Structure 1
Amino acid sequence: MKAILEKKENNKATFNFEISERNFEEALQKAYLQNRGKFNIPGFRKGKVPRKIIEMNYGVEIFYEEAINIILPNAYNDAVEELGLEPVDQPEVHIEEIEKGKPIIVKIEVAVKPEVVLGDYKSIEIEKVEYNVTDEHVEDELKSVQEMNGRIIDAGDRVVKVGDILTIDYAGYVDGAQFDGGTAEGQTLEIGSGRFIPGFEEQLVGKNKGEEVDVVVTFPEEYHAEDLKGKEATFKVTIHEIKEKELPELDDEFAKDVSEFDTIEEYKNSIREKLEEEFKNKEEVENENNLIEKVIEICEVDIPEVMIDSQLENELGEFDYRMRMQGINLEQYLQITNSTEESLKEQLRPMAEKRVRGDIILEAIGKAENIEVTEEDIDKELEKMADSYKQENKEQFIKDMRRGDLSFLETAITNQKVIELLKANAKFK
């Protein structure tokens, strides 16, 4: 096959190629064999009608479309490989000439991966991010564990204060009328949590158990319910219970209860070690991200819109997954925030574009530096994946993974090698 590139500009390639008469005839015969059972012609059993008879009755072109569908994918792939193109979208196919006994002329238009003009990526200077663990960090972590191990007890007859956990009934009114969703009984509310409308919780501070309180608040302008935005509301609140959290003493006994250590000092040291590891990982991630952002700045590339749109769908899927991990789906999130999928996509678009741009530039640097991914590299990553997914039979997991497409893994390994190269050459100030 000989493919001819007509033009390549604005990340779109136009080329044509021929499908030989012999190859097209083979495809026509395959199309006939696959479809002959669909024809009923008097004098012939179903599925036994000769191809020539079918063509005489329905026209010689009867199997053309099916034959093109059979032969075109491989022919297209061969042409793309011959021309050294990297398509990023489905092609537009135009059959320029098709006639029995002659080669088929096919014209293709397709978006292709853009070319990158690389900057001086080996002379980058960036500010180094550093995080140091302080005594305050350790104490905050310790207090967090203390909070988790607190007991909820009755607060007695005292008034409400910040941090208390109340059981309340309430009914909300706007312009003297109750509104939908503004009524509840036996509701649990922690004062200071910020769960309710701004100003609601503060007006319960200093009140007593059994007291009925009129709480007057104004709904935010960005509130999800259209009919309540910016409206003033009065909530008639009855306080049924006032409870507080009793925290354990931060002593050696506490350390024994919540950890494997015998003393509070040993436990604090273990917290410091854990935080130092976390901060180290955080530093590494942020320094790498800043390095990639700098590389993006100094390199030139024009991204096809179709690549951004494709990544945008991935970003939306990841966002939906994160929402589900928090107990709501995408549709519920859109209702709560009074937004649409399109508006959310616009928010995610800059991130999608940055990811595509970064991936393309890292790939270009990898090619410029002749970075290769070895079988050993892949095996190491598969072993890490097996450990991450807690696979008992690690060898079987790796064997199963190797049966599939591992291009995603090769890309990730290449990108990481490029990042290591960039770090080795960068000057961190």
Structure 2
Amino acid sequence: MKISVRNLEPTKVKLTVTVDPEEFDPYLDDARKEIAKQVNVPGFRKGHVPGKIIDQRIGFASVAGEAVNAAVPDLYSKALEEKKIRPMAQPELDVQEVPASAQDETKLKFIATVERRPDIELPELEGLELEVAKPEITDEDIDKRLEALRQRFGTLVGVDRPAAKGDYANIDLEATIDGEVVDSQEGVSYELGSNTMLDGLDEALDGLSAGEETTFEGTLEAGDHEGEKAQVKVKVNSVKTEELPELDDDFAQDASEFDTLEELKADIRKTSEKDAEGRQATEARDVFIAKLEEGAEIPVPKGVKAQTVEEHLKGAAGGPEKATAEQKKEAEESAEKELRDQMVLDALAEKLEVQVSQADVTNFLASIAQQYGMDPSEFINAIVNNGQLGSAVQEVGRSKGLLAGMRAVTFTSEGETLDLSAFLGEEAQEEESESVEAASAAAAVADELSNVDASADSE
């Protein structure tokens, strides 16, 4: 097999593959055998028709077509391996030449155009020392957590006064366009100042008492008239304010297993310190990846980037078509970073010769399935049937490479060596650990499958 490679872009190549007859012949023989299983030829048992008879009765063109369908993907993969090209998308395949008969000496020739991972030169990890900022736990942090807990035990009490910021109003809404009612809602509970519904609603409600109503102009954010201006009538049914419990020992006993407020605060501080350690481990990961990318020009494949940007924009209001310039810019920046990090971690896993076992992938997918309350076997089967197993293997490889790479360097904070073993684990246990990227990818698959199941149930 002769392979020529032409670089079209830093991240795109064109492979021209010419296959010698002795390499293509086994595919022709396999094609004849498969066809023989499906046809009836007088005088021969099904499945035992000689190849020459198949060529005569069915036609060599049909045999060659079946052989090409099997040979091209297989030989394409071999060509990638031989030339050490790491594809990042499906190739564009163009079959140029195929022998016209069993005696024809024309060689099978095809062209594959594919976006690839660029060559990335990584720094040596041995002796590398990276500084990580030390997270601070302040009294203000403790007070914020305590206040959040206090709000969970708050109660809403009706008040006989105009609504103000922070109050909860029970309201009815009616939107009209050119005098026609296009949407209405009743009994909606809304927190003034939260700005979580229509623009202008907070201003309209401010100062209204129960039983009063007003009209304002707002832009509809959902439904058939999304994005259109409408006259919105809002009526206040009731006004309530939140009453919070006193911060004392009684509150501590109601909100926790502790007898005193001081004991509760001490536990909150302890929890905050553990959370801070987790944030520091995340910071160490980010510092490590940034070091791998430091000073390197890492081009991102254009086509893959465009697909990733579109995926990001699907979550925007109105989808990719109605995304704002700011949303598109954010999606592009996010996609570039995501792809660059993925390519660097792929290169790292390759450099460290990371091996991904079937157990690694099975355990990883099973853990994600359990988080989503799915049956692990069904989830894994869905991954396989959707053709996403390769992506799962790649994600686990990135995770293992990241963990192995981080274990190979030294992290320090304010002159002291950090012990991240609680987060990085031991090498023998690394299959039980997972990176944020890997977890996110598998969780996205789980979300997608959940949405598919929900759609099926609603039909």
TM-score (norm 2): 0.68
- Provide the rounded CA distance (Å) in 1 between the counterparts of 2:332 and 2:277: 30
Q: Is the 8 A contact 2:167 2:241 kept in 1?
A: yes
Partner SS state of residue 417, structure 1: helix
- Provide the rounded CA distance (Å) in 2 between the counterparts of 1:252 and 1:346: 51
Among all aligned residue pairs of Structure 1 and Structure 2, give the percentage whose two residues are the same amino acid.
25
Q: Where does residue 254 of structure 1 map in the other structure? A: 251
Q: Where does residue 339 of structure 1 map in the other structure? A: 322
1:212-258 per-residue CA deviation (whole Å, 9 max, x = no partner) reads 23244554999983430xx7x463x4433222323222221221222
What's the CA shift for 1:299?
A: 0.7
Q: Is the 8 A contact 2:219 2:228 kept in 1?
A: no
Match of 1:113 among 111, 117, 122: 117
Q: Where does residue 446 of structure 2 map in the other structure? A: none
How do 1:5-404 and structure 2 match up within 5 A? 5-8=4-7, 10=9, 11-21=12-22, 24-36=24-36, 51-57=51-57, 59-88=59-88, 89-90=90-91, 92-96=93-97, 98=99, 99-101=101-103, 102=105, 104-111=107-114, 112-117=116-121, 128-155=132-159, 157-172=160-175, 177-181=179-183, 183-210=184-211, 212-217=212-217, 219=219, 225-228=226-229, 233=231, 235=233, 237-293=234-290, 295-309=292-306, 311-312=308-309, 316=312, 330=315, 334-335=317-318, 339=322, 347-365=330-348, 370-373=351-354
Alpha-carbon spacing, 1:208–1:166, altered in 2? closer, same or farther (3 Å): same
Partner SS state of residue 298, structure 1: coil
Q: Is the 8 A contact 1:96 1:105 kept in 2?
A: yes
Name the amino acid aligned to 2:109. V
Partner SS state of residue 193, structure 2: coil
Q: Where does residue 417 of structure 1 map in the other structure? A: 404
1:317-374 per-residue CA deviation (whole Å, 9 max, x = no partner) reads xx87xxxxxxxxx5xx53499825999676423222222222323444565xx52437
**Unpaired runs of at least 5, structure 2:** 416-459
Number of positions where the alignment pairs a residue of Structure 1 with one of Structure 2:
395
Q: Where does residue 325 of structure 1 map in the other structure? A: none
- Provide the rounded CA distance (Å) in 2 between the counterparts of 1:251 and 1:61: 87
Q: Is the 8 A contact 1:31 1:66 kept in 2?
A: yes
Partner SS state of residue 355, structure 1: helix
Alpha-carbon spacing, 1:56–1:187, altered in 2? closer, same or farther (3 Å): closer
What's the CA shift for 1:271?
A: 1.0
- Provide the rounded CA distance (Å) in 2 between the counterparts of 1:257 and 1:427: 40
Name the amino acid aligned to 1:272. R
**Unpaired runs of at least 5, structure 1:** 321-329
Alpha-carbon spacing, 1:249–1:63, altered in 2? closer, same or farther (3 Å): same
Larger radius of gyration: 1
What's the CA shift for 1:66?
A: 0.6
- Provide the rounded CA distance (Å) in 2 between the counterparts of 1:341 and 1:160: 34
- Provide the rounded CA distance (Å) in 2 between the counterparts of 1:425 and 1:371: 23
Name the amino acid aligned to 2:65. E
- Provide the rounded CA distance (Å) in 2 between the counterparts of 1:378 and 1:310: 29
Q: Is the 8 A contact 2:165 2:193 kept in 1?
A: yes
- Provide the rounded CA distance (Å) in 2 between the counterparts of 1:386 and 1:171: 47
Partner SS state of residue 334, structure 1: coil
1:271-291 per-residue CA deviation (whole Å, 9 max, x = no partner) reads 112122223322332353255
What's the CA shift for 1:115?
A: 1.3
- Provide the rounded CA distance (Å) in 2 between the counterparts of 1:341 and 1:198: 17
Alpha-carbon spacing, 1:411–1:159, altered in 2? closer, same or farther (3 Å): closer
Name the amino acid aligned to 2:119. E
Name the amino acid aligned to 1:18. V
What's the CA shift for 1:298?
A: 0.4
- Provide the rounded CA distance (Å) in 1 between the counterparts of 2:128 and 2:414: 6
Alpha-carbon spacing, 1:334–1:193, altered in 2? closer, same or farther (3 Å): closer
Alpha-carbon spacing, 1:265–1:234, altered in 2? closer, same or farther (3 Å): same
Alpha-carbon spacing, 1:67–1:136, altered in 2? closer, same or farther (3 Å): same
Name the amino acid aligned to 1:412. S
Name the amino acid aligned to 2:13. K
Q: Is the 8 A contact 1:3 1:82 kept in 2?
A: no
Q: Where does residue 448 of structure 2 map in the other structure? A: none
What's the CA shift for 1:63?
A: 0.9
